[in-house]
Amino acid sequence: MRILLIEDNQRLRKFVREGLKLEGMAVDHFGTAREGMAAITTVSYDAAILDLGLPDGDGMEVLRQARSQGVQAPVLVLTARDGIKDRVDGLNAGADDYLTKPFAMEELLARLKALMRRPGSALGATLELANIRFDTIAREVQIAGKVISIPRRELDLLEHLLRRAGRVVPKQWLEDELYAYGDEVSSNSIEVAIHRLRKRLDGANASAHIHTLRGVGYLIQA
């Protein structure tokens, strides 16, 4: 999962970033409205966390503009303001939820996960293909009824492939989805993860297989 964090307070940004990383999320983080706006309109994020008071503008304006440009990612607004008017304005501008500072990391995570699980979003379902069953909320995979353990990065990879089962998923797209800016990604990171995941699935007698289309990407099919 790839999250955008726009918050100008460096300490808070670090705190939130670390908390999200511990949950296995890839985080792109910025401290200005300008950078945040550029990121939210160019990358397809699973969710964004947006501070309202930014040094070069109002987060509310970022939100309004992003929505007007068709950005659909759920947005959780962070603010020190507690007025009802701000809350209403934020929701009107397209925020999905609101969190007033100070907050506990647990609460932020719970709210964020709830936003990403909303019906209608691509997340939160059980994915099934042949004898593979992936519960995307519990992050648990069963093959032929048996739970198999899969490391987090490979799990994310499998989820992306299953959501597009039978279709080619470009390698570059997977790289963008699984790694944040600044993560160290070697040229064969995805290949290595695919290789391991394929061995794991075959070893558990999965009746769907991952195919490589050299130079293009990957697809999973029964």
Contact positions vs Ca ion (CB under 5 A): 8, 51, 53
In this complex, which beta carbon is closest to Ca ion, that of residue 27 or of residue 197? 27
Residues whose CB falls within 8 Å of the CB of residue 126, separated by 6 or more in sequence, listed in order: 133, 134, 135, 136
Question: 3-state class of 128 per DSSP?
Answer: strand
Shortest spacing between CB 67 and Ca ion, in angstroms: 20
Containing 62, the helix (H) or strand (E) segment is helix 59-68
Residues whose CB falls within 8 Å of the CB of residue 39, separated by 6 or more in sequence, listed in order: 4, 6, 28, 30, 45
Shortest spacing between CB 59 and Ca ion, in angstroms: 8
Shortest spacing between CB 54 and Ca ion, in angstroms: 6
In this complex, which beta carbon is closest to Ca ion, that of residue 4 or of residue 208? 4
In this complex, which beta carbon is closest to Ca ion, that of residue 8 or of residue 128? 8
Residues whose CB falls within 8 Å of the CB of residue 90, separated by 6 or more in sequence, listed in order: 52, 60, 63, 77, 79, 98
Cα 157 to Cα 210: distance, rounded to the nearest angstrom:
11
Shortest spacing between CB 118 and Ca ion, in angstroms: 26
Shortest spacing between CB 130 and Ca ion, in angstroms: 49
Asked whether the beta carbons of 20 and 5 are under 8 A apart, the reply is yes
Strand partners, 221: 209
In this complex, which beta carbon is closest to Ca ion, that of residue 27 or of residue 129? 27
Parallel/antiparallel/unpaired status of strands 126-129 and 132-135 = antiparallel
In this complex, which beta carbon is closest to Ca ion, that of residue 8 or of residue 140? 8
- Edge-to-edge strands, sheet with 169-170: 169-170, 217-221, 209-213
- Find how far residue 9's CA is from the centre of its chain: 22
In this complex, which beta carbon is closest to Ca ion, that of residue 59 or of residue 74? 59
Shortest spacing between CB 14 and Ca ion, in angstroms: 14
